[in-house]
A and B are shown apart, each in its own frame.
Chain A
């Protein structure tokens, strides 16, 4: 796909905002297998981008490259003006600016909920413990589970665990939040509680990049939708454009399967 394709359909208001994540020609190989090829996209401040695509299309790989859980091999990734490279200091900076929420929650099972949330603020942001705990409690309030602070992750439901994971990421006061299929490991009745928290977060002005199969969320909340297949960006557009008049044949195929 060409660069111009990837940047179409950005409304004028959006285009005027600052760039938050810029990817230019990002390539990523696992051995001989090319997982990402020439990914080029720009995500603006306070924008909500949903990434769609069939399984194995490279969505996770891309999102994980943005906070350097995977290293890309060529091209540029610039987050909030900092370019990702092998320089450890840049990686440190970016990780404290970018929060990530995983499909499998990945909470620390040996720590209580409150310790899960305060660990990084205390040791990375260098907050005092009382300050960090106060913040953690207000975040738990925000995600709707203030009463679970002293429990261990194993004592919570999946939906509650994922909300703790969101609170843990927010505690670092990130400028960007990445979500990799945050609801895929949840029972249906718990999906909504997590999506509600994400919606609230979106309204509060957070920049978000969300890989999900929740078409409802994509339609209602996203500013733009990026469709990927086989490691490439196939189509970019507003939800309206995307769900009503997709341009690409492959997009139509995908939509006919999932809708």
Chain B
């Protein structure tokens, strides 16, 4: 029973959904009528139904027999779960990983509590239909699988996939009582849900979809405490496999804490939401969004990496530098937003940009040494200076600009310092983490970097200035004409050869760079599609009320075009997420490489590959499926806002 108990449940998820959706929409039709109308309307369609049905049944049986076969080495997956998700992150420091998960759980709970729309709710009846479908699927699975029992050499005894010897088919069926019980419990719950009376106002009883999801997540968490899933681990080169015990404390306790944290922050978010007004809520939204943007950097560079800060250097070099830029830049920006500075201010801003550009040229020519972060700081200041005139006049606005500059300087210098500090965490490979964590990290950083780049490329491609247009078009067309794997190999193998001697770039960084440049080209094309969908009247109206080109782009054009291009953008996000599996080829220990080469090389699990690959596909699928579901929701919600 314990083996792979979770696999069919997740695998059946779409089936549940589809089956559940039908009766809810067409309650007036009897099942027989529905079957006749939809499955057997004409002889030819009946033939197709039967043929496809048989095909599906045989495939399902094949999959079941594969998953539940006695020969399957699921222990290889179970024992190596940590390896699959985080590779060789040291055991003593593992709490850092849990802190990361916890931070994400809290933020997710808070965001959902603060912002998730109430929605229509999930009707109890629909849940009941889903549970019923699951029960039927499980029962069907039991029966479907059983005929594959092998007849023993004596022609009398039969063995099922687990290798248990049985005397008859009936016995085999009754031996599956655990699964029958699960199916029966589901069916009973479904029945109970159906019995819940309609509300007094005649509407169907329903729960919030979010609450249902959170509640459903509690099931595996609680079961880890009570059900003997077994205790498997691979730690310090030792394999531990103790079937029949509950899950190891080092797994079930953290997951329980994560669940409690998520629920608590969900409740906290809702509580705050019920107390504050619209304006405060909008401000909170900004704060939470900014936090989401910062969190990947903090989690990776600070929490996971635990930099070994050199306080002498920080106090004598880094802090003074940051202060100098913060205060100096603040004074410059305040001056640039003075009343009546007019044209002179803009000329000064362009001059600043020239100065910043000069430092970069100097760096490439090797004229004089300079800290990289000083160059970047100059560039940041120049960009802020170019935007400064938007904030001139009113004292409050000027203050906000200076404040924004302080925040940007602080954040930037902090991370620049942290990134340049060696890590205290020691791992056997060059990389800090591997497995699914590296997949997530590369995907998240790629998206965060390629998104702005893609927007800029799209704007450049639709710009009126030919130089921008030509450069952007050339870039996009070149990148789109080259396979991703080529670009990755280029960045990993060839880029380091071009770098100056004193600069080195990690495998992780060069791979992320390659992904970013690749993904940006595709994102740019998607955004361009959105840009083209904007009617000319929007530009004319923006011009007529006097918005500048930058203001028009930021306030009018981009919001509308990004909204219009959400479906392809999410498609691109999912594609990027899945394409990270190419990391395995260029030598990163990602989740695919774990399953494909690391686990099969362990002496205990020599050559066991298929289980791992199946599990990895499942992980990829679950995440991609969640992403596409979310995008559909987002689309629907934004569509409503526009109407």
Q: What residues make up the interface of A, taking CB atoms closer than 8 Å to B?
A: 67-69, 89, 92, 95-96, 98-100, 102, 104, 106-110, 119-120, 123-124, 126-128, 152, 154-155, 165, 168-169, 172
- What residues on B are CB-neighbors of A98 within 8 Å? 544
Q: Are B642 and A152 in contact (CB under 8 A)?
A: yes
Which of the residues B392, B547, B642 comes within 8 Å of A154, measured between beta carbons? B642
- What residues on B are CB-neighbors of A110 within 8 Å? 559-560, 563, 641-642
- What residues on B are CB-neighbors of A100 within 8 Å? 540-541, 544
Q: Are B563 and A123 in contact (CB under 8 A)?
A: no
- What residues on B are CB-neighbors of A68 within 8 Å? 543
Q: Are A96 and B541 in contact (CB under 8 A)?
A: no
When C-beta atoms are compared, the residue in chain A nearest to B279 turns out to be A129
Q: Are B555 and A119 in contact (CB under 8 A)?
A: yes
14 contacts between A and B (CB under 8 A): A67-B544, A89-B343, A95-B545, A95-B546, A96-B546, A99-B544, A102-B541, A104-B537, A106-B535, A120-B545, A120-B547, A128-B394, A154-B643, A169-B545
Within 8 A of A (CB), among B518-547: 535, 537-538, 540-547
Interface size class for chain B?
A: 20 to 34
Which of the residues B541, B546, B641 comes within 8 Å of A152, measured between beta carbons? B641
- What residues on A are CB-neighbors of B396 within 8 Å? 128
CA distance A168 to B545 in the complex (A): 8
CA distance A107 to B540 in the complex (A): 10
Q: Are A126 and B547 in contact (CB under 8 A)?
A: no
Q: Are A155 and B643 in contact (CB under 8 A)?
A: yes
- What residues on A are CB-neighbors of B537 within 8 Å? 102, 104, 106
Q: Are B546 and A120 in contact (CB under 8 A)?
A: yes
How far in angstroms is the closest Cβ of chain A from B337?
10
- What residues on A are CB-neighbors of B546 within 8 Å? 92, 95-96, 120, 124, 172
Knowing A120-B546, A126-B392, say if A107 contacts B642 (CB, 8 Å): no
CA distance A126 to B337 in the complex (A): 12
Determine whether B380 belongs to the interface, using a CB cutoff of 8 Å to chain A.
Answer: no
B contact face: mostly helix, strand, loop, or mixed: helix
- What residues on B are CB-neighbors of A109 within 8 Å? 560, 642
CA distance A243 to B225 in the complex (A): 92
How far in angstroms is the closest Cβ of chain B from A142?
18
CA distance A192 to B288 in the complex (A): 47
How far in angstroms is the closest Cβ of chain B from A200?
21
Within 8 A of A (CB), among B390-416: 390, 392-394, 396-397
Knowing A119-B555, A126-B393, A169-B545, say if A102 contacts B642 (CB, 8 Å): no
Which of the residues A92, A108, A123 comes within 8 Å of B541, measured between beta carbons? A108
CA distance A98 to B541 in the complex (A): 12
Q: Are A69 and B394 in contact (CB under 8 A)?
A: no
- What residues on A are CB-neighbors of B343 within 8 Å? 89
Knowing A110-B641, A152-B641, say if A95 contacts B563 (CB, 8 Å): no
Which of the residues B540, B547, B642 comes within 8 Å of A124, measured between beta carbons? B547
Q: Are A69 and B642 in contact (CB under 8 A)?
A: no
Q: What are the interface flags for B600-643 relative to A under an 8 Å C-beta threshold, 1 for contact and 0 otherwise?
A: 00000000000000000000000000000000000000000111
How far in angstroms is the closest Cβ of chain A from B292?
21
Q: Are A119 and B541 in contact (CB under 8 A)?
A: no
- What residues on B are CB-neighbors of A165 within 8 Å? 541
When C-beta atoms are compared, the residue in chain A nearest to B556 turns out to be A108
5 tightest Cβ-Cβ pairs between the two chains A and B: A106-B541, A126-B393, A106-B537, A120-B545, A100-B544
- What residues on A are CB-neighbors of B535 within 8 Å? 106
Knowing A120-B547, A172-B545, say if A69 contacts B540 (CB, 8 Å): yes
- What residues on A are CB-neighbors of B551 within 8 Å? 123-124
- What residues on A are CB-neighbors of B394 within 8 Å? 126-128
When C-beta atoms are compared, the residue in chain A nearest to B542 turns out to be A108
How far in angstroms is the closest Cβ of chain B from A137?
15
- What residues on B are CB-neighbors of A107 within 8 Å? 541
CA distance A126 to B560 in the complex (A): 24
Q: Are B547 and A123 in contact (CB under 8 A)?
A: yes
- What residues on B are CB-neighbors of A108 within 8 Å? 538, 541-542, 555-556, 560
CA distance A95 to B545 in the complex (A): 6
When C-beta atoms are compared, the residue in chain B nearest to A168 turns out to be B545
CA distance A169 to B537 in the complex (A): 14
When C-beta atoms are compared, the residue in chain A nearest to B563 turns out to be A110
CA distance A126 to B538 in the complex (A): 21
- What residues on B are CB-neighbors of A155 within 8 Å? 643
Q: Are B540 and A123 in contact (CB under 8 A)?
A: no
How far in angstroms is the closest Cβ of chain B from A21?
15
- What residues on A are CB-neighbors of B559 within 8 Å? 110
CA distance A127 to B393 in the complex (A): 9
Q: What are the interface flags for B341-355 relative to A under an 8 Å C-beta threshold, 1 for contact and 0 otherwise?
A: 001000000000000
Q: Which of B393, B397, B540, B560 has the most chain A CB atoms closer than 10 A to its own CB?
A: B540
How far in angstroms is the closest Cβ of chain A from B379?
25
- What residues on A are CB-neighbors of B544 within 8 Å? 67, 69, 95, 98-100, 102, 169
- What residues on A are CB-neighbors of B390 within 8 Å? 123
When C-beta atoms are compared, the residue in chain B nearest to A117 turns out to be B545
When C-beta atoms are compared, the residue in chain B nearest to A64 turns out to be B540
Q: Are B541 and A124 in contact (CB under 8 A)?
A: no
Q: Which of B343, B538, B545, B641 has the most chain A CB atoms closer than 10 A to its own CB?
A: B545
CA distance A61 to B162 in the complex (A): 82
- What residues on B are CB-neighbors of A172 within 8 Å? 545-546
When C-beta atoms are compared, the residue in chain A nearest to B339 turns out to be A126
When C-beta atoms are compared, the residue in chain B nearest to A89 turns out to be B343
- What residues on B are CB-neighbors of A128 within 8 Å? 394, 396-397
CA distance A96 to B551 in the complex (A): 14
Knowing A110-B559, A110-B641, say if A119 contacts B547 (CB, 8 Å): yes
Q: Are B543 and A69 in contact (CB under 8 A)?
A: yes
- What residues on B are CB-neighbors of A106 within 8 Å? 535, 537-538, 540-541
- What residues on B are CB-neighbors of A95 within 8 Å? 543-546
How far in angstroms is the closest Cβ of chain B from A46?
21
How far in angstroms is the closest Cβ of chain B from A114?
12
When C-beta atoms are compared, the residue in chain B nearest to A121 turns out to be B545
- What residues on A are CB-neighbors of B397 within 8 Å? 126, 128
How far in angstroms is the closest Cβ of chain B from A7?
28
How far in angstroms is the closest Cβ of chain B from A186?
16
Within 8 A of A (CB), among B434-493: none
